[in-house]
Amino acid sequence: MNIKELLENIREISEKIDKAKRLLDRRSHDNFYIGSTNGPNFYIHIDEIAPIIELKIETLNKKLKVLLDAQLTAERVIAGLIPK
């Protein structure tokens, strides 16, 4: 993975974490409406999907930590290559 891909992956994962956290912040609204053009439409209570969202956030945070560690390593390598 090159530096550009690394930074893009960090940005994408950070955005996914933010979106998931915004969903959890909507707990006071209680329900989500899920609809489709060819299937049934229904409401789902946020407490039913909250554990799934929390698990997704945890997984994304682990991936983000690995990518941030790689970014830090790359920055250190680049800094070591630049003459003072």
CA distances, 12 to each of 7, 40, 55, 81 (Å): 9, 31, 18, 28
- Put simply, whether the predicted model's pTM sits higher than 0.85 gets the answer no
Q: Quick check: 29 pLDDT over 90?
A: no
Helices (runs of H) and strands (runs of E) counted in the chain: 2, 2
Tens-digit pLDDT profile for residues 34-74: 667 777 777 777 778 889 999 999 999 999 999 999 999 99
